[in-house]
Structure 1
Amino acid sequence: MSTTKWSIDTAHSEIGFKVKHMMFTNVSGNFEKFDASIETEGDDFTSAKFDFSGEIASINTGNADRDNHLRSGDFFDAEQFPTLTFKSTSFEKESESDYKLTGDLTLHGVTKSVKLDVEFGGLAKDPWGNTKTGLSATGKINRKDWGLNWNSALETGGVLVGEEVKLNIELQFIQQ
């Protein structure tokens, strides 16, 4: 069987995250500039290989001051570490549409293995005859595992920024 390559459709994809602020509300954000690809054996995704990169400077939480702080040395240090990458190590089918995606996430100069729950949307033809696939991925990471340690104590106890980062990723790919 031949290898099939899939390219990201960035207009229909989103790399999102949420972090607790002041222990009780979530701040959401995303990366606006990213690239991703998948390699499969034909249309079979059970052995799919995922490759992703995102530009740290493209982080957007809807607040310019916060985004600049996130790009600074307190957090991502976009100048020294301009890119985050993910390379899959396995993509295991758990049911008809549910998969576990495991891979190496490199962020802030640190590489660690992460597991994501993926809902596979199947294959469909768009109105222009392109074969597309959609995937929704969710997971959690602890930002301190990648050396993103900045925080500020609150007078009432607790901290300003949560350690757990919830990932919410929507991906649409076009068969090449």
Structure 2
Amino acid sequence: MEKLTKWAIDPTHSEVAFKVKHMMISTVTGHFENFSANLETENEDFKGASFDFTAQIDSINTKNKDRDAHLKSDDFFNAESYPEMTFKSKSFDGETLIGDLTIRDITKEISLAVELNGVAVDPYGQTKAGFEIVGEINRKDFNLTWSAVTEAGSVVVSDKVKLVIDAQFIKQ
């Protein structure tokens, strides 16, 4: 059995983003600015690796202070009562990452598509691994239920939320 290798996310070379349709005609992108993640693996291809991730809800940034405040309110995340969003993996086959996502007080199993971009050694001698991770959730599954309809009958905020994570990990 190979030795367990630990990796920690490199926040300066990583991005945790989400995309939501607004009025069904445009897409709003938001980010979590404050997050941490770790992975442990026994294999160079990362198959069977375990991932865990935590984002601070208060660090949400959609480039609009009023919208960010609304997202932090009880209409959506309720950052005061539920300050963190977490993900804990159950399985990873090299392409599909399955695990439990917890938002507010609700935990649901989700599936994410993962692409390993590669492993390289940087100029400082640190070994790094880059991943692109994408998926989609229904926000209402996590009690993010606020909704409004325009006069024309368009939904203001889509139920579907795309997750787009670019993660670079540093071998510990």
TM-score range, shorter chain: over 0.9
Where does residue 56 of structure 1 map in the other structure?
57
Give the alignment's TM-score, normalised by structure 1: 0.95
- For residues 26-50 of structure 1, the C-alpha deviation after alignment (integer angstroms, 9 at most, x for no partner) is 0000000000000001534111000
Q: Residue type matched to 1:162 in 2?
A: S
| 2:166 is equivalent to residue 170 of structure 1 | yes
Where does residue 99 of structure 2 map in the other structure?
103
Whole-angstrom distance in 2 between the partners of 1:149 and 1:120: 34
Determine if contact 1:23/1:159 at 8 Å carries over to the other structure: yes
Determine which of 104, 125, 140 is the counterpart of 2:136: 140
Query: Where does 1:85-124 land on structure 2 (aligned, <5 Å)?
Result: 85-93=86-94, 99-124=95-120
Higher strand share: 1
Determine which of 142, 156, 160 is the counterpart of 2:152: 156
Query: Where does 1:40-51 land on structure 2 (aligned, <5 Å)?
Result: 40-51=41-52
SS at match of 1:169: strand
Unmatched tracts of structure 2, length 5 or more: none
Where does residue 4 of structure 1 map in the other structure?
5
Provide the aligned length of Structure 1 versus Structure 2: 171
Where does residue 81 of structure 1 map in the other structure?
82
Which 4+ residue blocks in structure 1 deviate beyond 4 angstroms?
none
SS at match of 2:48: strand
Q: Residue type matched to 1:109 in 2?
A: D
Where does residue 20 of structure 1 map in the other structure?
21
What is the Cα deviation at residue 158 of structure 1?
A: 2.4
